[in-house]
Chains A and B, each alone.
Chain A
Amino acid sequence: MLFRPNPSLGVPIYLQLMEQVKHAVETGALRPGDQLPGIRPLAEELVINPNTVAKAYRELEHDGVIELRHGAGAFVTAHGARGKAADTVRAAQPVVAAAVERLRARGLTDEEIRRLFEAELAGLTRTGGQRG
Chain B
Amino acid sequence: MADAPVIDVAGLQKRYGSIDAVRGLDLQVPRGSIFGFLGRNGAGKTTTIKVLLGMTRPSGGAARVFGLAADAPGASVEIRRRTGFVSEDKELYDFMTVAEIVRFTAPFFPRWRRDLEERYMRSFELPPDAKVKTLSRGTRTKLALLLALCRGAELLVLDEPTAGLDPAAAEDVLQTLVVHAGRDETTVFFSSHQIAEVEQIADRIAIVDRGRTALAGALDDLRESFRRVQLVFDREAPQASFRAAGVARVRRQGRVLTVIASGGAEPILDEARALGPVSVDVGPVTLKEIFLETVASEE
Tell me, rounded to whole Å, the shortest Cβ–Cβ distance linking A80 to chain B.
Answer: 26
Interface string of A90-124 (1 = CB under 8 A from B): 00000000000000000000000000000100111
Within 8 A of B (CB), among A42-58: 43-44, 47-52, 55
CB of A12 within 8 A of CB of B223, answer yes
A12 partner residues in chain B, CB cutoff 8 A: 220, 223-224
Given contacts A44-B175, A47-B171, contact A8 B199 (CB under 8 A): yes
Tell me, rounded to whole Å, the shortest Cβ–Cβ distance linking A124 to chain B.
Answer: 5
A13 partner residues in chain B, CB cutoff 8 A: 199-200
Given contacts A47-B178, A49-B34, A50-B181, contact A126 B281 (CB under 8 A): yes
Cβ-neighbour of B196 out of A8, A49, A132 (below 8 A): A8
CB of A123 within 8 A of CB of B282, answer yes
A122 partner residues in chain B, CB cutoff 8 A: 283-284
Within 8 A of A (CB), among B267-293: 269, 273, 276-288
Q: Does B100 contact A (CB under 8 A)?
A: no
Q: Does A131 contact B (CB under 8 A)?
A: yes
CB of A50 within 8 A of CB of B175, answer no
Interchain CA distance A131-B34 in the complex, whole Å: 49
Interchain CA distance A131-B33 in the complex, whole Å: 50
B-side interface mostly:
mixed
Cβ-neighbour of A47 out of B174, B269, B276 (below 8 A): B174
Most buried by A among B265, B273, B284: B284
**Residue of A at shortest CB range from B33?**
A51
Given contacts A7-B199, A48-B200, contact A124 B281 (CB under 8 A): yes
Q: Does B182 contact A (CB under 8 A)?
A: yes
CB of A127 within 8 A of CB of B234, answer no
B280 partner residues in chain A, CB cutoff 8 A: 125-127
CB of B276 within 8 A of CB of A130, answer yes
Q: Does B98 contact A (CB under 8 A)?
A: no
Q: Does B214 contact A (CB under 8 A)?
A: no
A-side interface mostly:
loop
Interchain CA distance A32-B200 in the complex, whole Å: 30
Chain A contact residue count (CB 8 A cutoff): 29
A130 partner residues in chain B, CB cutoff 8 A: 273, 276-278
Q: Does A2 contact B (CB under 8 A)?
A: no
CB of B281 within 8 A of CB of A119, answer yes
Interface string of B240-282 (1 = CB under 8 A from A): 0000000000000000000000000100010001001111111
CB of A10 within 8 A of CB of B178, answer no
Q: Which residues of A contact B (CB under 8 A)?
A: 7-14, 40, 43-44, 47-52, 55, 119, 122-127, 129-132
Known: A13-B200, A44-B178, A52-B220. 16 other contacts (CB 8 A): A7-B199, A8-B195, A9-B286, A11-B284, A12-B220, A12-B223, A12-B224, A44-B179, A47-B175, A49-B34, A50-B178, A124-B283, A125-B280, A125-B282, A127-B280, A132-B234
What are 27 residue pairs bridging A and B, where the CB atoms are less than 8 Å apart in the complex? Answer: A7-B199, A7-B200, A7-B287, A8-B195, A10-B286, A11-B284, A12-B223, A13-B200, A14-B220, A40-B182, A47-B171, A47-B201, A48-B200, A49-B200, A51-B33, A51-B182, A51-B203, A119-B283, A122-B284, A124-B281, A124-B283, A127-B279, A127-B280, A130-B278, A131-B234, A132-B234, A132-B235
